[in-house]
Amino acid sequence: MKLLIPILLAGFARAEMFTLAHPAEAMPEKDTVVWSPLFQATWDKLNTELGGKPDKVEPPNELMAKLDSFRWKADAVMSAGSWKAWSGPATGEFLKRVNQEAAKMTGESEGPFKLSDESSNNRAAFGLLDREVTFQKEFLRSRSEGLKFRANGEKTPVHFFGSRDVMSGELRDSVKVLAFRPVDRSFALQIDCKEADDSVILYLPAKAQDFATACSWIRTWSEQAKSVKSTFGEWNDARLHELDEVRVPYVDLDTKADLAPKLGSTRIHNNLPWKIIRAEQLTRFQLHEKGARVRVETSLEATPFADVEVPRIIPRRFVFDRPFFVFVWRDGAEWPYFGAWIGDTTALRAFPQG
């Protein structure tokens, strides 16, 4: 296999991509799916702005329950200096401050956030993650051949980067083998990066699983790696060696998701009902031979019921004073089991005069 540098990556028609708000959500396993705890951090900020977790959610909402009960240490999980979450009144003044701070983080001329409904009664929360990491040692690109990627019953050649022979040996100090399980053809690699304690972990499971399960396995293997003794060149060698081969597809995704439909229940905070009127996430991610780049933007807005505009009520009269139909119909049935057209007064009871 010759590993050279391509000029451009061939693209494919973009299928729908999915965004999850919580790692334990059901996985649409035949599609590309993204999840970032930045949404959780933004959700937590909104809860704080509303006075804490809700006293009640009506009707019960499984996703809201997962988000409200999630336990984590955001500062330990998120990359220091590369993320932030804000919350406050949904006003132009608050938005201006958020965008100024976001622009300072990204080095761009202006921030990315907008309000869908500017109101001092509403509450808004925003989150930003902007991080680029560089592998301690680069892999090589391939342009002489593609990687046949198998999905949904098809094999599709894709661009990839990787290593083999001597180069794999040169990567020994920067690539850890967290798991290699020949029995079910699953494995996981940890690629160390130059930035702080960041790393990129690649995990190919034996079968599809949700993010929470995958993360659990990674935590288990990472902990085991601290105590397990391995022998150079053996199947359980914790580092790459000269006979190892690595092939990784390039990844380049850009997706925007509207999560509000999944968060439609009423949330009671301090006896005041709130509705989530906006929940969006924009995700961009690239993986290449030098490292990875991730950009996530999250936006949440909530409105109190008292601030909801009450539509004008138009009085109506439903007076059946001329021929009409009447039916008796079972719920869900295709046809009524009784119907009548009242075309005259034959079937009507007369009202006595005088």
Give residue 278's pLDDT: 96
Q: What is the mean pLDDT of residues 72-93?
A: 91
CA atoms within 13 A on the CB side of 63: 19
**CA–CA gap between residue 213 and residue 219 (Å, rounded):** 10
Q: What is the mean pLDDT of residues 239-264?
A: 89
Question: 224 pLDDT band (50/70/90 cuts)?
Answer: confident
To the nearest whole percent, how much of the chain has pLDDT over 70? 82
- Whether the per-residue pLDDT at 329 is higher than 50: the answer is no
Question: Does residue 257 contact residue 35 with C-beta atoms inside 8 Å?
Answer: no
Amino acid identity for residue 267 in this structure: R
Count of C-beta atoms within a 10 Å radius of residue 190: 20
**CA–CA gap between residue 113 and residue 125 (Å, rounded):** 10
Q: Which two tokens stand for residue 30?
A: 């035949």
Q: What is the mean pLDDT of residues 46-51?
A: 96
Q: What is the mean pLDDT of residues 19-29?
A: 88
Whole-Å CA distances, 209 to 186, 238, 250: 13, 24, 22
- Whether the per-residue pLDDT at 63 is higher than 90: the answer is yes
Give residue 222's pLDDT: 85
Give residue 257's pLDDT: 93
**CA–CA gap between residue 90 and residue 214 (Å, rounded):** 37
Q: What backbone phi and psi angles, to 5 degrees, belong to 272?
A: -115, 125
- Whether the per-residue pLDDT at 236 is higher than 90: the answer is no
Cis omega (within 30 of 0) for bond into 182: no
Question: 336 pLDDT band (50/70/90 cuts)?
Answer: very low
Give residue 309's pLDDT: 46
- Whether the per-residue pLDDT at 234 is higher than 80: the answer is no
- Whether the per-residue pLDDT at 148 is higher than 50: the answer is yes
Amino acid identity for residue 259 in this structure: L
Higher pLDDT, 15 or 269: 269
Q: What is the mean pLDDT of residues 132-139?
A: 90
Give residue 10's pLDDT: 42
Question: Does residue 124 contact residue 89 with C-beta atoms inside 8 Å?
Answer: yes
Q: What is the mean pLDDT of residues 87-106?
A: 97
- Whether the per-residue pLDDT at 32 is higher than 80: the answer is yes
Q: What is the mean pLDDT of residues 24-31?
A: 86
Dihedral angle sign, alpha carbons of residues 237, 243, 246, 247: negative
Q: What is the mean pLDDT of residues 72-79?
A: 86
Question: 342 pLDDT band (50/70/90 cuts)?
Answer: low
**CA–CA gap between residue 337 and residue 1 (Å, rounded):** 73
Stretch among 289-293, 300-304, 332-336 having the lowest mean pLDDT = 332-336
Higher pLDDT, 316 or 56: 56
Average pLDDT, the chain: 83
Question: 292 pLDDT band (50/70/90 cuts)?
Answer: confident
Burial 268-302 (b: 16+ CB within 10 A, else e): ebeeebbbbbbbbbbbbbbbbbbbbbbbbbbbbbb
What pTM does this model have? Answer: 0.82
